[in-house]
């Protein structure tokens, strides 16, 4: 009898008769990270990159955290705080530098380079000054991978570390300026702000980014008159919208800026030379014409500075006077409020480190995360930042091209 489609047997699970692919066991990508936090060798650096609470999160995620004794002391965290959360306290820097990833705030100093292992991962800040060229050459010689945490960006193009530190630095800069205007630091005895019947102090802010926003908020809150300069009309408009009020704004016309600086009581610089495409925004001649006893706070000093007269200083000797104008040029101004700054940094570091572990390690995360790649300036001993290469006459290569080989 001829078989037709109607009398063929039905196989509701006919797929089960076909050859099926073999189901392999799913292998988790998670990798245990060994993260070392040394005690900062720079005595003026008070911050620590991870709080005890962040250490607890990472330990619960399967990672090992090695912390040098007293590393958190200046931020008012003791060793017991960390050991109770699962951190391992060690007594020497050598033990910390055996870690896969060394996490610190300040850049390495010469004595620390002796402890760095070849092909190690160093996450820290990067300050641009006269010795940076030698610093980069030493990193290259050690064949390390170095990440400037302030250059790491999110998927939306924002910089979480800069946002966190800049917001603190902006607010703190106004408090610092207030101190140097007062009699406490032999200032001219002026209160920053304004009260009824007395002309308010004038605060000029160079730049319209995050630090500028928080500096403006603090100064306006005290009653000062605020004037903001930037090379982008868009940023100036955004700043006014964020502040919710009209204020004096201008792009960088040299004549206009020079005129405004003559009456300013405080000038806060937030623009780096890289952002402004200028070696400095305020010339020495402009500073010479400022009021005697006025105050300059250069928040961009770690990247070269806003003022021609700026000189990098530290918290032991934070200020100097030139042409009768007080200059405050300390790179790590947020160390003045070390605990607040440490918590802000930790809020960004902890999720990043957890992501690196979940991705299967640093190399895997680096391939997937363009924001992390943006923070890398030396990769396995190869300079990957074109700006630094041009600035210090060093050969550089595109990290995106290098990643294709790994």
Asked whether the beta carbons of 300 and 338 are under 8 A apart, the reply is no
Token reading at 76: 């008012």
DSSP letters spanning 23-67: -PPPPP-----EEEEPPPSSTT----S--HHHHHHHHHTT-EEEE
Task: Find the catalytic residue in 100, 230, 298, 302.
Answer: 302
Q: Which residue has the tokens 């572990």?
A: 357
Rounded CA separation 217/223 (Å): 10
Q: Which long-range contacts (CB under 8 A, 24 or more apart) does 381-386 make?
A: 381/139, 381/140, 381/141, 381/142, 381/143, 381/144, 382/140, 383/136, 383/140
Q: In the annotation, is 302 catalytic?
A: yes
Task: Find the catalytic residue in 63, 127, 327, 374.
Answer: 127
How far is the CA of 204 from the CAs of 160, 266, 268, 276, in angstroms? 26, 6, 6, 17
Let me know if 2 is exposed, middle or buried by CB neighbors in 10 A (0-12, 13-18, 19+).
Answer: exposed
Nearest to 64 by CA among 81, 89, 41, 40: 89
Beta strands in 231-354 (DSSP E): 248-250, 266-269, 295-298, 319-322, 325-328
Let me know if 406 is exposed, middle or buried by CB neighbors in 10 A (0-12, 13-18, 19+).
Answer: exposed
Q: In the annotation, is 156 catalytic?
A: no
Nearest to 306 by CA among 168, 201, 211, 193: 211
Length of the chain: 406
How far is the CA of 159 from the CAs of 307, 325, 348, 375, 386, in angstroms? 24, 33, 10, 10, 19
Q: What residues are annotated to the active site? A: 127, 302
């Amino acid at each position: 009898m001829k078989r037709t489609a109607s009398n063929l047997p039905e196989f509701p699970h006919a797929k089960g008769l076909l050859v099926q692919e073999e189901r392999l066991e799913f292998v988790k990508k998670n990798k245990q990270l060994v993260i070392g936090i040394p005690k900062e060798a720079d005595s003026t650096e008070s911050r620590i990159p991870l709080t005890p609470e962040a250490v607890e999160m990472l330990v619960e995620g399967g990672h090992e955290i090695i912390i040098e004794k007293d590393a958190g002391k200046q931020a008012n965290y003791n060793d017991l705080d960390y050991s109770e959360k699962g951190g391992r306290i060690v007594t020497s820097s050598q033990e910390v530098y055996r870690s896969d990833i060394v996490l610190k705030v300040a850049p390495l100093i010469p004595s620390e380079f002796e402890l760095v292992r070849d092909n190690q991962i160093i996450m820290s800040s990067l300050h641009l000054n006269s010795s940076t060229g030698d610093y980069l050459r030493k990193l290259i010689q050690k064949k390390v991978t170095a990440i400037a945490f302030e250059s790491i960006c999110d998927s939306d193009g924002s910089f979480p570390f800069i946002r966190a530190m800049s917001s603190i630095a902006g607010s703190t800069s106004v408090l610092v300026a207030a101190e140097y205007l007062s009699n406490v630091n032999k200032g001219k005895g002026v209160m920053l702000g304004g009260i009824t019947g007395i002309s308010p102090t004038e605060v000029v802010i160079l730049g319209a980014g995050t630090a500028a926003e928080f500096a403006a908020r603090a100064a306006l809150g005290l009653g000062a008159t605020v004037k903001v300069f930037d090379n982008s009309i868009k940023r100036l408009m955004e700043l006014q919208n964020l502040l919710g009020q009209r204020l004096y704004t201008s792009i960088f016309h040299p004549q206009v800026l020079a005129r405004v600086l003559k009456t300013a009581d405080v000038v806060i610089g937030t623009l780096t030379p890289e952002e402004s495409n200028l070696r400095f925004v305020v010339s020495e001649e402009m500073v010479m014409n400022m009021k005697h006893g006025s105050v300059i706070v250069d928040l961009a000093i770690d990247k070269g500075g806003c003022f021609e007269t700026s000189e990098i200083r530290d918290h032991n000797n934070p200020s100097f006077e030139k042409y009768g104008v007080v200059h405050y040029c300390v790179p790590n101004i947020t160390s003045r409020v070390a605990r607040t700054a440490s918590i802000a940094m930790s809020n960004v570091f902890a999720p990043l480190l957890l992501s690196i572990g979940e991705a299967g390690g640093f190399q895997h995360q680096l391939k997937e995360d363009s924001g992390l790649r943006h923070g890398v300036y030396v990769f396995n001993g190869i300079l990957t930042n074109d700006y630094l290469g041009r600035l210090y006459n060093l050969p550089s290569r595109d990290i995106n091209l290098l990643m294709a080989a790994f």
